[in-house]
Structure formats: structure tokens, C-alpha cells
Structure 1
């Protein structure tokens, strides 16, 4: 099978890896074009220092890096290796960094990569140039090392060429041709190449290429300083290119690598130096590599001073070379992978560093050939993940520059992203400010984490206080809000929940084809259901409410759900999908007194008989028209109440005037997360992702295999009988040991899984952690440990849900 006609734009580490991987899968009618010479094309790959550190808080990014290490370690060019596996050493010079290295060790242990924590003496034994007096400890990953990027490009070009792939050097892309919303070819300065699929792997020129099809690629090329010393007397006679581990000194925003008898120094501590893709010269225009800008010595002064302090041997040398090399940053530090939402056949694989290059090549090849990626969970990397505001030039530039500054910072999982803020606010924002809301950000939305006005609720309560790390971006008020929700009633701002409207005569059949549950039911029905990919993996969990015969409202998880729906729309125009989130808002009114708040405000019947659990209806609350859905993600009686944004303030005031005299409160996301974990409600993106199926994730109840065909059904039937791992509930007795997520779980000394999400259960009086574990360890009562920084936390597998297993409070 030669496959479709594919043109890959860019022959750097990503384009070469994709050509190799896709041709290995039988697609050989592939042409790779690049404006530069091969294999050093003049892009970021050509000057990359090649350091491959696999440690990352993202499981996906670690796995992409691990595959890159494995593949490049197997490649050579005429006997010269493409990867020097010297190991990677991260050192701590402050107590805060040492604690962070313990956390990072937890990540790689959770993701299945070998790593060891070292004492200061062990660090110096591994890297003798380091000053022993400066170091407190370190983290060693033996499989890290140096990628020889240009050699890796050449090796993969050779393999792909042997399978029939054509590589065209010195071909500048002038346009991407399209017709009727599909790509048809690529126009170069030497002619047009027909194509059914075009993949943009142009790196720092990516935004320029993407604009040829009207695509806004949120990527910023930034200059990064890299310098090389002259010979160091301490390294005199070193004949091998690298013998010491690659070294990270993150407290100084620095990294180091060997180069025979000198060292390379990379620096992130300088001011951000962004450029636009249009400002980068072409290969023909540039004097040298266009991805290399003039070295600015003044910006490197602090780096050189810190280097001489940390590595005393460098005091006898000087900087002989230096560059400001360009490479790509994104607003969330993830690559940009996938197909354009507007032009069929135009794909991108952008903002990919050498560290993840071969992994991305494999992921893209699987995605293109099979229609899905089976080796990696790519939901964090999908180019269509962004909300419209996240594509604005101001937003992209500001966030990308901030990410450059913070690249080595110690960041808390709840730490807000910073400017530009605020961007998206609900109609309740001013009222929340009046009550002392402490806002965190999600998807651009300002979301209250707790309300300082509730501080008096803390008095007289027995509240568990977490340790230092978990206590950041937290307050005892969170605990009080959670308890009061279960005692009286609370109002939660749920506006940030993505809402889609699916309408038209074909809407019911359209949804039935996409989801695992039965949604073509009576008007007023609400269904919790799943979106699956073709391999049976979970793409999202959603709620579908049938509001009229041809009208549905979908509670979704983000823009990827909208993109998935849009891609599957029937061509006959019988279904329309639109994002109604910006024009609407939502209040979650939940708690045992919720009905006492709501019923006096409306003539509609909100008794249990009048609106049963998982039913919806249109009604009036005071003078405000609402869509009321009897759902509760905190496990209490209540409703999600939706209205238009212009009447949101009126709805809020109406409910608050009725709730406050009954002891009702406003409550934030901190309490919400604790309450939803007590009920065992999953969160897509944290607890379950593309790599998991419903039976593993404990949401098999949302699958109706007895209904008609739906995407992923055939694959799910094959996977159903082979559940080898399970999303499992763990409880922790020690109230001070609240974990945060992504920690390793141990059975004895063996790492067996990882935590997904966690919180303290303020109703049940225990810490809660959901974790992926082997099915054999998922039985209630199994004693395990969670690795939390430098200690182990005792945990035990528990039956779920932990709270109200009979559902009596929800159905009251």
C-alpha cells in the first residue's frame, strides 16, 4: 500500500522522524520539502544543543521523550551514534529545589522511567566539575543524554529514502493549494507537488506556513542563549565528546553539556527575545543559519558569573562562541499536533523540541495512518484545544514569553498563569468580588476557589489542615464551604462548563452515532455518556439534555469536544452545532436545603415527582427564564440552573436572597473538588484520558452496547474482557498528608501506578486519592503507599463512592 500522497514541509527532527515512521507503516508516496540543505536545514534542529531530559509533569510528554531516547539510541550514521546516553543530572542548590527534585522523581517513577535521588557527594562523583559546597542533592536519570540532532535527521532520512520517500532540499514553500476546503498540493519555488495530505513540520516558520490555509498557529519563536567555552584545563585530553551527565542547574536557569575539552552552556534567565515567523529570514536570505541570531553578551553576563561559581574549572576558560538560537514556545508548553479544523488534509506537528521529536513522529504517523494514536494520549497536544481568545496575538505573545521566563521555575499545580487576566468573567464576577472571591483561572475563566466572606464559618469547626505544598492556593475556608454545602445549601458558579447546542432534524441520530449511551429519549431526559475514539479510548465524558425534539444541550469538557462534533457533522446540513457558552451562564444550587431555596421562587413543580433526577425542564425562577437540570457533581440535592448571560446577575441575586436566610453560602472550586471526589465523580483529563477505556475507568455504566452502532463500539467490545488496570479510590488517614496528583503509588518497594486527582474529604474525614492501579491491586482493603516528595504516605483501597452510596441525598 503506497497510501495517499503526502507532502511534509520541513526536514528537521520532526519531519524526518515522521517520514521514517509513516513510511515504516506502508505509506511511501511521501515527499519531504525543505528550503535548506540536507541534513542541516538551517532550522532549530541544526543548532540544537541536543539535551534530552525525559522528566516532565506530563505523562504524555515523558512518554514521547522516552520513545525518542529509545529510537535515537538505536540509530547511527556510518557507525557514529545519534544518541550519547550519558545520563541526566538535575541539581539543587536551595532547599526548595531539593524538595522539587523529590517531586520530579515522583513523576518519572509514576511514568515508568528509572531515576535516582543523589546526595551532594554522589552528584559531585557523577559530575566532578560541580562545586561540592553549592550542591544539596540531585536527581539522576541514567537514560537521559545527548541527541545528535543533525545525525538523527540524516539517519531517518536514509531509512525513509530506502522505503521510497522523496526528499527535496532547496525547495521553498510559497503556498499550500486547496480546493473546496481540502488541500490539493504544495507550491514551491521549483514547482507544484500534488498532495492529499500536507503536514507542516516547519518549526519556527510554522505560523507562516499555517497562514497559507488561513490557520492561526499559536506559537512564538524565542531566542535562547547557548554558549561554548574554550578548552578547560581540567578537561585536557578528553577525547570523547561527552562523558559526564548533561546537567541542569535550574536555580540558576542554566544547563550544561560536554563538548570534548569544553562545555556548552544554555541559559533561560535572560529577558524574553521573541520574533515573528515573518521576521525570520529564509535560508537563501540568511548569512548562515536563519535560526541563529547574534549572541548578546550583556544578556549572558549573569549566566557566566553563576557558571564560574558553580563550576570552578570554568574560571580558567572563556566563552569562545555564542548564539541566540530560535526555538518555539506555546501558551501551555505543549506541542501543536493535529489536523486543521477548517481545511481537510492540512496537518501540523509544531512546537516540538528535539527531546520529543521521534515520539511525535510516531504519534503523527499512527494518527494519520490509523485515524487515531494508539501509543500516546494526545489530548494535551491537539492543536484544536484552544478557545478563541487563546489564539489572539496578544495572548499568545504574553503567555509564550511568560513560559520562557518560568521554564525552570517551581510551579504549583494550581498556580495561576498570570497576565493577561482577567479575560473571561461570568455575569456573577462583580458579586463574587464583593464576597472576597479568591480567583484561579481555567480556560480563561476567572473561577472562585473560595470566598473570604466565609472566613467566619471556620470558627468552631474541626478542620483538617494539609501540609505546606497542598496548603498553597488553599484556605481553611475551603473545608468549611465543603461542610456547609452538605449541611445547608451552596451556590456554585458553573459558567466555565463548556456548553454546546446541537440542533436540527438529524440531531438525535447524529448524537446517537457519537456517544455510548442512549440519548434519543423523551424530551427532558438528561444522559451522562461518553465520546470514544475509534480504538475505544475515552475522548470525553459529557451530559446530553434533550430540550426539544430537535434540540439538545451538551455539557462538554472543552474545545476538543466541539471540534470532534464539528468533524462528524453530516454533509446534508441536517445538524447544526454551536458553542453557547459565552452567551449563557450557570449556577449550581446544591445542598439538603436546595429545594427550600428554589421552590418558593417559582410556580413550576421542583418536587422529586415534578423533576426527577437526571431530568431537565424550562422554568422561571422569579422573573428569569432558566433551563433547570437535576444534576449534582457534589452529590447533593439540587440543580444546574442555566440562563442567558444578560439575566445571570438577576438569577444570582434572586437565589442569594432566598439562600442566605437559610444559612446558604457561596462556595468555590476547592470545595467542589473535595465533594466530587467523595462521590467518586471522574474528571476527564485528570482521572481518565484517551488512553483509558470505560471499563477500566469505572464508567462502564455509561455504555449501552445493546443500542445501535457508535464510534468505538467495535473496539470496545474487544477490550471489554481484558481489564488489566483500574481507576481506584484510595483513602489516607493522616489529615496532614493530602497529596496533589501525579504521585507514584507503591506496593511495597514496587511502583505500580500513579495518582490522578486528590483532595481531603471534609465530610468523611479522610484524604482521597484516585489512582490507576493493576486490576489485581484494586480490591478494597489493599494497603499501599503513595510517594509524596521525600516520604511515603500510607493509603488503602476503598469501596466507592465514599459518600452516600445509596444516592438517597441526590434523589431526595
Structure 2
């Protein structure tokens, strides 16, 4: 597809001609974009796409990822008619098999989730598995699920079909044309340099750049000054000789044996996702790489092949036609990278598809194209937004170790609270060793080691994963009840802290947030950053430190995204925005006895008169100084103590020593999640996202529409005028035994009406608690609560009580006492 006379100007340059790049070009031109140029270093599909297995599944881990996967499947079903290029797409169905009770629980929870997402699925018995896949050995099989509309296709031809659709609408595709550099001006790329294999070279001035470079995306990102954390791993499959009378078969997945099976033109393709993968390309990818295979490593594949021959005995009677080893790119969290890159205004990324590029490409291309067209996300893409990646995650040593694990995690048990085992210990609170010595068991988020729970004396300080009550259930209960009845101490140092200062700080924050920022020094404001639709882009607290300076506190995982949002909306405001997260530790002292504990270590006044809820004050504590913020995410009287990292250990030791006389208990962040859900506090990324209107999320109290214009104000006023069409509701199970996590279907009068956005165990309430949205157009609160509600937990329908107010302390008196 190489074309002569490459133009010198384009609206957008897409780098990379795999299935993702072709999909972005296809969808941009479908939206009417002209001057779309795609540059491919070799030939289209020559990196990873050509050797992909071509599995096309619908169900993903979240509602929006499922939406994108379903779109891909529907698109591929119509592409051939549109473009004339056969895609090989056919709906053969798919079966996933469980060999353990834990995997059965996982599959049945996924099945319930699929029903909430509108995906056709069926739980099937071992006998029914045998009926649909007669070649499988059913020894050890406990259950399975069947998705009749899942499919498979020809990866290379799907990409070529997308490319044909794009060129028919005017896109220009240039193969054997390598991007060699970019011209940068401020936060924009103004031109892309290229060189063809025959020695021609030039530059394309452009309005936008899209990095779809697959395994090369990290290096291409560096050209633009953009962090794209991904790394290639070896990925193996074999293709058998022809099997007589094999017939059409569904795709078969046996994750407990790390294997998948696909019928391919009368042969069986057996692929694997082994627990410990082999990273590849640590010294760089050879410039000559094109449709290449890697050296075979039969010893690496052999253990899974042995299990596969037992599971599918016909493999032992059939020769191997092809033993394939090819590289694919993987990311630190097994989610792909999509969106506008932090730090840049016109550099977009679509890369790192973790072996699901074919099933994701259609939806990812559609979503990115719509985002580029509108200037804002079409719906919540937080799971894959490139802004979730932390700067350190582009480190090669980190990536090499992490991706050796993430490949295998695709087929590992997806237990709740499962922690990554590799690339740990990178970001540590200044209190890390103090917490560890006191029994802390750490989890990792955004690279931060965070104390999630505390082991008792003699208890093994490690996670034992389960879908039932985990080994730390009673530990979290004791911590939870300490917060509710006494006093607890936990480390919040990982939360993001962004300082905003300058002569226009007040005006800027009033422009970017829904709350009123023109408040007295020391006042703390809970607020949201809204988009033009009234959706929530960030959920933060903002403390006024002085006349010209504020501190914005964000969740740890969204610190970069929230900072990026502010920077993109500075306009002509005279402000300086600085990440100061590492400069201060934060110790939360929470519970009815928290005032007594602080009074024993500080001469300052913590009374309501001197330090009411929602205010901060400078304090002495022990022999140090700190800043005490009277706020709470657990719904109790308490303070967050901000102390410079050099004095953090002293303050911790002071509180711990004094706490012996007050029954102080060290607590972890699992406790915080259980307490916050009892109180009905929203969790950003779950309960509130960019597509959840702030009023429907029940956060209208935090939006002050009587102030000067701010982002999202018109959408808030419009919703107040038109009324709510959905509302977030809190649910408490009537049965104290089942656990809730998220995505469980909500049934209203016996019919599915939504799914839980988050769930946790409410130890104070004595049952699992969840939150989720239900439709309510034209309904009063009484209408909503008059219905009967239940939650589908892995196929078992459990009755639930619904509430539009927090089950725990609905008046908020405990926090403000």
C-alpha cells in the first residue's frame, strides 16, 4: 500500500499499521475526517497482528470494556460487506471451563455480571460441556460457561479490511515508511519526520499524532516526550496437522491449565498464557523485524502441552504442523493504553493490547476517534486511559519484571484483592518500615506500597486469596470496629497532593471545580471537577492554605490524571501547579476517641469551636509540627495529620506511644473501604466516573451554581431543570454471609435494572453493602424505595434493603461531633 509523494501536511498522522492503527484510521474517516495519514515502518500487520490467534470475545471486566468488545464483534460481522475484504469472522461460541471450586465461583460471578451487561451467557454442567465440545476430557471439570455469540476471525484480514475502509474514505496509508522523529513546540507535536526504505525522507506537519506502534510504542512515545509503559513478551501456540472430521467447534478456554483451543481450518490451535512469561526485546527490537518468529522454546511450552494432551486426547494422536513463538506487548496492569497523553495536547495513544488486540481493536478505535472528534471521552474509559500510568512505570527494569507476570495473570484466578507479585517496593511511605514492624500486610497501587491490613501476633502476614471470606476478614473487622467505637490510625501518605498557587489560584480553582473556592484560609472544600456533560472527572478535597495557595488532595491512582486535567484548563490563569505528594506523609486518626488521643500529644485546641469539621489548622504534635485537617472518608470524628516526611516517623511514634492509653489500633485501607461504603461515600472510578452526572451521583450539595461560570455548570442547571433519569442507591444484603465486590446485578421486583458499582463488607452493619445506579425517570424517592430489591451473587439471588441515604449515620452527626 505504499504511495508515492507523501503529503507534507495532515490533520492527523497515525503511527503503526497493525489492527489498532487501521481501526483508528477507519473510524476517523467514518466521522468525516480528511487528511488522515498512516505510516507503517514495514508492511501492514507485520508486527503482532499477523500472528494473533483471532479470538473475539464479548465479555470483559467492566461494563464499558464489554461495550467496546461487543462493538468490535458487531463491526467485524459487517466489514466484509462494506469493504470487500473477507475477515473470516464467524460466531462459533466459546466455552470456559473450571477445574476448581474457586474458578467455578469466578465464572459464575462473571456470568452474573454478563447478564447485567446484556451479554448472552449460560452456566453449563460438565455433561453439557461434553455435548458442545465432544473431544474434551471432563476429568476434574466442575462447571463452565458458554457464550454463544463469541467468535473468531482472521486477524490480518480484519486489519486489511479496516485499512481498505479507511482508504476508500480518503485516508493515505504509506508502508515501508519509518517515523524517525518529531518536532515539538511546547505541549504540541507540530511535525513528524519519516524515512522510506528506498532512502526518501521528509516531514509531515500535523495537528495530531496517534501512537499505534504496538511493541514499538514505548520508543515512539519517547520521541514525543510521552510515557507509554509496555514491553514485549514471547507468546506461544501450536497448530496441529489436519484432524479428520473435526467439524466446527466453539473456542475452548481452560484457564486452570493456562490453555485455549481454537478450531482453525480443520486443525487445532493450542495457545498458552503461562504463569511466568519470557520478556523479549530488552535490548531493543531489531530494525529488520517484519513477520518474524522467535526461536522456539519447547521446554518452556512442554508443561502446558502435557496438560493439553490430557485435556484434549486427540492432540496426542495428531502431529504438530506449526510451533509458533511470536512477541506481543503487555502493560503493567493488563489493560491497554488509550487516550490523550499526559503533558501533551495533541498526542494520542492506542497501544499495549495484552493479547486481546483483535477483539479490542474495533471498539478501541471507535472510542478514540470519538474522543478526538469531541475533545472529551465518549464514556468512561478510566480502565484504559493512558493517564492512569505513573511516570516511573516506563522504567525498563520495572517493565521487564512486571510483564513476566501480567501475561500469565490473564488466565490466573482473578481473585478479589489479588496483588501483583513482581516489581514491588518502588514507592514507599516514610512510615513503611514502622508499619511493617507492626504487622502490616501491603498491597500495591500506582506503585505505592500501602498497608491494607494488619496481621495479629502469630498470624502469617500474607494474603490467602479466596472468593469467600479471606484470611484477613476478621482483621479488617477488628480494625473497622475500632474506627467505629474507639480510635484507629492509618497511613494515607500515598494519596496525591497537588499544590496550586498564584495570584489567580482562587479564580482558576473556581473555574475548574464545582465548589466555591473563595473561602477563608484553613477551609476545606469537598468538590468535583466536571466535564461539559456534568460528568465527574475528579473527586477531590481542596484546602486553602493561604491567600494565594491551595492543596488539592486526590486518590493515589488518579493523581496524574487530576493534575493533567487542571493543567489542560489553566488557560490564561496565572497559577503554578506542583505535585507535592512525596513531601508530606499523612496519618489519619479516626474514631470517637480521636479527639482525646490528639489532645494528649498536642497543646492545640481540637474542639468544634476552634476546629470545626471541614477546617485545617497548624498544630504542634510531640516535638514536631504538622497540619491537622478535620475531614473523614470513614464517617467518624477524626483528623488527617499532614506532616513533612522528615518528621513523619516521630509523629507516628508519638501517636503510637500515646495510643496505648486510648486503645489505639493500627488499621489498613481495606478497613477504610468497608467504612466508607457503610457511610455511602463514593469511590472514584467505580461509583463516580466521567459519565456519571454529579446530580445523579447524589453530589449536588458539592456544586455551587450561584458562583461564576465553571466547567459543567450548564449541564448541572439543565439536569436540575429536566430532572434525574437515574440515581445511585445503597444496598445492604439481608443475608450476612455473601460478599459483594462490584458488577453484581441489581434486581428490582425481579428484573435486572443495573449493577453494583462497588461493594464491600460493612462490619458495623453486619452484612455486605453495595452501591449502584438504577433508572428513576419520573419517580419520587418513595416510588424507588417501594420496590423490592435483590442482588445476584454468582447466580444466587439475595434479598437486599435499599436506601437513598447512608445506612450508617445518615445525618453525619458522628463526623461533626
Q: Do the aligned partners of residues 154 and 686 (structure 1) sit closer, same or farther apart at CA in structure 2, a change above 3 Å counting? A: same
Q: Do the aligned partners of residues 735 and 42 (structure 1) sit closer, same or farther apart at CA in structure 2, a change above 3 Å counting? A: same
SS of corresponding position for 2:256: helix
Structure 2 partner of 1:671? 671
SS of corresponding position for 2:280: coil
Residue 160 of structure 2: which of 146, 149, 154 is its match? 154
Which whole-Å CA distance do the structure 2 matches of 1:467 and 1:398 have between them? 22
1:10 and 1:32 in contact (8 A); partners too: yes
Structure 1 partner of 2:372? 368
1:532 equivalent to 2:554? Answer: no
Which whole-Å CA distance do the structure 1 matches of 2:665 and 2:102 have between them? 37
2:276 and 2:405 in contact (8 A); partners too: no
Structure 1 partner of 2:416? 413
Residue 431 of structure 1: which of 410, 420, 434 is its match? 434
Structure 2 partner of 1:61? 65
Which whole-Å CA distance do the structure 1 matches of 2:682 and 2:458 have between them? 29
Structure 1 partner of 2:228? 217
Q: Do the aligned partners of residues 387 and 661 (structure 1) sit closer, same or farther apart at CA in structure 2, a change above 3 Å counting? A: same
Residue 797 of structure 1: which of 794, 797, 802 is its match? 802
Matches within 5 A, 1:278-677: 279-282=284-287, 285-286=288-289, 289-290=291-292, 292-352=293-353, 353-374=357-378, 376-453=379-456, 469-472=467-470, 474-557=472-555, 558=558, 559-570=560-571, 574-677=574-677
Which whole-Å CA distance do the structure 1 matches of 2:488 and 2:565 have between them? 34
1:454 and 1:477 in contact (8 A); partners too: no
1:118 equivalent to 2:129? Answer: no
2:86 and 2:161 in contact (8 A); partners too: no
1:274 Cα deviation from its structure 2 partner: 1.5
SS of corresponding position for 2:236: strand
1:467 and 1:737 in contact (8 A); partners too: no
2:750 and 2:790 in contact (8 A); partners too: no
1:278 Cα deviation from its structure 2 partner: 6.1
1:730 equivalent to 2:728? Answer: no
Further displaced range: 520-529 or 97-106: 97-106
TM-score by length of structure 2 reads: 0.92
1:73 and 1:82 in contact (8 A); partners too: no
SS of corresponding position for 1:496: coil
Structure 2 partner of 1:460? none
1:232 and 1:314 in contact (8 A); partners too: no
Which whole-Å CA distance do the structure 2 matches of 1:594 and 1:144 have between them? 55
2:102 and 2:466 in contact (8 A); partners too: no
SS of corresponding position for 2:428: coil
1:747 Cα deviation from its structure 2 partner: 3.3
1:198 equivalent to 2:209? Answer: yes
Structure 1 partner of 2:4? none
1:594 Cα deviation from its structure 2 partner: 1.7
1:513 and 1:710 in contact (8 A); partners too: yes
Q: Do the aligned partners of residues 137 and 588 (structure 1) sit closer, same or farther apart at CA in structure 2, a change above 3 Å counting? A: same
Structure 1 partner of 2:93? 87
Which whole-Å CA distance do the structure 2 matches of 1:415 and 1:535 have between them? 35
2:183 and 2:191 in contact (8 A); partners too: yes
TM-score by length of structure 1 reads: 0.92
SS of corresponding position for 1:279: coil
Q: Do the aligned partners of residues 641 and 32 (structure 1) sit closer, same or farther apart at CA in structure 2, a change above 3 Å counting? A: same
Which whole-Å CA distance do the structure 1 matches of 2:381 and 2:475 have between them? 36
2:687 and 2:757 in contact (8 A); partners too: yes
Which whole-Å CA distance do the structure 2 matches of 1:430 and 1:278 have between them? 35
Aligned residues: 787
1:470 Cα deviation from its structure 2 partner: 4.0
Structure 2 partner of 1:276? 281
Q: Deviations over 1:337-378 (max 9, x none)?
A: 22333343222111131111011101111111101121x311
1:233 and 1:316 in contact (8 A); partners too: no
Matches within 5 A, 1:36-55: 36-37=42-43, 40-55=44-59
Structure 2: 5+ residue stretches without partners: 1-8
Which whole-Å CA distance do the structure 2 matches of 1:278 and 1:350 have between them? 20
Q: Do the aligned partners of residues 591 and 305 (structure 1) sit closer, same or farther apart at CA in structure 2, a change above 3 Å counting? A: closer
Which whole-Å CA distance do the structure 2 matches of 1:265 and 1:347 have between them? 35
Q: Do the aligned partners of residues 342 and 695 (structure 1) sit closer, same or farther apart at CA in structure 2, a change above 3 Å counting? A: closer
1:332 Cα deviation from its structure 2 partner: 0.5
Structure 2 partner of 1:178? 184
2:678 and 2:762 in contact (8 A); partners too: yes
Q: Deviations over 1:160-201 (max 9, x none)?
A: 222221111221222222234421222221322221111111
Q: Deviations over 1:265-308 (max 9, x none)?
A: 111227522223863334xx34x613x32333333323332222
2:530 and 2:537 in contact (8 A); partners too: yes
Which whole-Å CA distance do the structure 2 matches of 1:724 and 1:533 have between them? 18
1:781 Cα deviation from its structure 2 partner: 5.2
Further displaced range: 429-438 or 320-329: 429-438
1:115 Cα deviation from its structure 2 partner: 0.9
1:716 Cα deviation from its structure 2 partner: 3.5
Q: Do the aligned partners of residues 713 and 372 (structure 1) sit closer, same or farther apart at CA in structure 2, a change above 3 Å counting? A: same
1:11 equivalent to 2:17? Answer: yes
Structure 2 partner of 1:262? 267
2:187 and 2:344 in contact (8 A); partners too: yes
Which whole-Å CA distance do the structure 2 matches of 1:672 and 1:271 have between them? 33
Which whole-Å CA distance do the structure 1 matches of 2:147 and 2:116 have between them? 14
Aligned alpha-carbon RMSD (Å): 2.3
Q: Deviations over 1:599-653 (max 9, x none)?
A: 3433332211101111112222232221111111121112111010110111112
1:468 Cα deviation from its structure 2 partner: 5.8
Which whole-Å CA distance do the structure 2 matches of 1:661 and 1:475 have between them? 26
Q: Do the aligned partners of residues 307 and 482 (structure 1) sit closer, same or farther apart at CA in structure 2, a change above 3 Å counting? A: closer
SS of corresponding position for 2:427: coil
Structure 1 partner of 2:6? none
1:718 Cα deviation from its structure 2 partner: 3.5
Structure 2 partner of 1:741? 742
SS of corresponding position for 2:707: coil
Which whole-Å CA distance do the structure 1 matches of 2:399 and 2:412 have between them? 20
Further displaced range: 647-656 or 385-394: 385-394
Which whole-Å CA distance do the structure 2 matches of 1:664 and 1:179 have between them? 55
Structure 2 partner of 1:462? none
1:14 Cα deviation from its structure 2 partner: 1.0
SS of corresponding position for 2:70: helix
Structure 2 partner of 1:230? 241
1:229 Cα deviation from its structure 2 partner: 0.6
2:497 and 2:554 in contact (8 A); partners too: yes
Which whole-Å CA distance do the structure 2 matches of 1:212 and 1:393 have between them? 16
2:85 and 2:157 in contact (8 A); partners too: no
1:749 Cα deviation from its structure 2 partner: 5.1
1:774 equivalent to 2:753? Answer: no
Structure 1 partner of 2:28? 22
Further displaced range: 546-555 or 765-774: 765-774
SS of corresponding position for 2:545: strand
2:228 and 2:394 in contact (8 A); partners too: yes
